[in-house]
């Protein structure tokens, strides 16, 4: 985890430096560079939201039980729990 933290930190410093290379040191009031500075994190955030939606788009076990879809509920719970605990968890829900 320490290595991953160091890599991500250095990558962030590198990207911030790279982002600032294309702007003047002394901007004038008519410069619109601030739009690009805000655009970069927004693009990363939108991309992250899309990736999370693509890979973690699951309904909850509670939803499956409300819709009386026991098969999908069992499939979903089997991803997280051992098979012998699934009935106890469904009864708890």
pLDDT (tens, 9 = 90+) of the chain, 93 residues, equals 899 999 999 998 998 888 777 777 776 777 777 777 788 889 989 999 999 988 887 788 889 999 988 899 999 899 889 989 989 988 898
Q: Are residues 24 and 47 in the same domain?
A: yes
Q: Which domain holds residue 45?
A: 2-55
Distances in Å between the Cα of 55 and the Cα atoms of 50, 58, 90 are 9, 9, 24
User: 0.75 cut: is pTM over it?
Assistant: no
Q: Are residues 43 and 71 in the same domain?
A: no
Q: Are residues 27 and 43 in the same domain?
A: yes
| CA torsion, ordered 86, 71, 55, 42, to nearest 10 deg | -90
Q: Are residues 83 and 42 in the same domain?
A: no
- Kindly report each contact of residues 83-89 with a partner whose C-beta sits within 8 Å and lies 24 or more positions away, as own/partner: 89/61
- What is the rounded CA–CA span in Å between residue 20 and residue 16? 6
Q: Are residues 25 and 10 in the same domain?
A: yes
Q: Are residues 36 and 71 in the same domain?
A: no
């Amino acid at each position: 985890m320490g290595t991953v933290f160091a890599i991500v930190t250095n990558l962030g410093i590198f990207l911030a430096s790279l982002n600032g290379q294309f702007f003047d040191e002394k901007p004038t009031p008519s410069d619109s560079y601030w739009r690009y500075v805000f655009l970069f994190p927004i693009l990363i955030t939108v991309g992250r939201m899309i990736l999370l939606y693509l890979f973690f788009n699951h309904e909850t076990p509670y939803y499956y039980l409300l819709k009386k879809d026991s098969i999908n509920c069992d499939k979903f719970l089997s991803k997280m729990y051992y098979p012998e605990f699934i009935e106890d968890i469904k009864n708890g829900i």
